[in-house]
Amino acid sequence: MTTSTSAASAAGENVGEFSAVDSSDRSAWFIDFMDYANALPEYRAIRQGLAASLGDLDGRSVLEIGSGTGDDARELAALVGGGGRVVGTDVSAAMVEEARRRSAQGASLPVEFAVEDMRDLTFADGAFDATTAKLVRQHCDDLDAADAELLRVTRPGGRIAVFDYDFDTLTVDHPDRVRTREAVHCFCDGHRNGWNGRSLARRFQERGLAGITITPYTVRMPFAFFRRSMEGRLSEAQRSGALAWTAGQLADWWRPLDEAEDGGRFFASITGFLLAGSR
């Protein structure tokens, strides 16, 4: 029997707080969350889509913004060959430390990691042939600054490919439509930019990116992933009053989902968008 742990989720176990991993003292939880997500089959397709959108990477210099544990940066490093290099950057020192630790254990690749805030990068103008960012813009409170920096450090003619969710695309099969809409909106609004996905095309058109393509990816969410994604935010919001439910009502909302999982009937999905273009 599956038991919902929604009421018991620890402080800091909230995916909306990926903007401040270091201040939570629970970096291990965030690292574990990304490892779980990155192992989903749809995430492999997203990584492959991003890499393909960056063009021929042989000998190129590539920047990854918000590189987390560095696994994607290492995959890109295998594509740039000996003449290229990949720089993975993340605002979290804990994430950069984990990325360096994993790199030291694996095969030698032309990849390095640095603590950098996407809103204020230290690289020179046009320093990179290609720039990518996966699931990081949603955690940024100043996308104007982040977009200006992303374009500034990519050379003219260079490639840009980013992927991000739009959290109001989340679906879950639940008998209570009203409360489920409230839960989804609460989860979406727990992110700095929960609607980032739907604004990607407009934002980069306004900045003059050429040859823009937008590709949607829908991820089917296993119950374990859905629960890890939602429960921290919903519990915090219930406790703070941002979600105007009692603790009992929150537990009642989880119950049919636990039962659906036990009966092999659970269904949830979320859609994100891969934007690509030339600077």
The residue from 50, 80, 95, 219 that contacts ligand SAM (CB under 6 A) is: 95
In the Cβ-directed half-sphere of 118, how many Cα atoms lie within 13 Å?
A: 28
Residue ranges of the alpha helices (H) in 54-138? 71-80, 93-105
| 186 lies in the binding site for ligand SAM (CB under 6 A) | no
Q: Which among 51-59, 88-96, 199-207, 228-236 is the span making contact with ligand SAM, rule CB under 6 A?
A: 88-96
Question: Is 18 a binder of ligand SAM (CB under 6 A)?
Answer: yes
Q: Token pair of 30, please? A: 């965030």
38 contacts ligand SAM (rule: CB under 6 A)? yes
Report whether 50 contacts 43 (CB < 8 A).
no
CA dihedral 232, 233, 237, 238 (to 10 degrees): -40
Taking the complex as a whole, the smallest distance from the CB of residue 136 to ligand SAM amounts, in Å, to 4
- Of 13, 14, 16, 21, the residue at the interface with ligand SAM (CB under 6 A) is 21
Distances (CA, A) of 171 to 46, 224, 267, 268: 19, 15, 8, 5
Q: Tell me whether residue 6 or residue 132 sits nearer to ligand SAM (CB atom).
A: 132
Q: How is residue 228 written in tokens?
A: 């890890």
Give the range of 6-14, 52-60, 91-99, 225-233 binding ligand SAM by CB under 6 A: 91-99
Binding span for ligand SAM by CB under 6 A among 89-97, 174-182, 193-201, 244-252: 89-97
**At 37, which helix (H) or strand (E)?**
helix 27-38
| Binding interface with ligand SAM (CB under 6 A) | 18-19, 21, 34, 38, 65-68, 72, 90-92, 95, 117-119, 134-136, 139-140
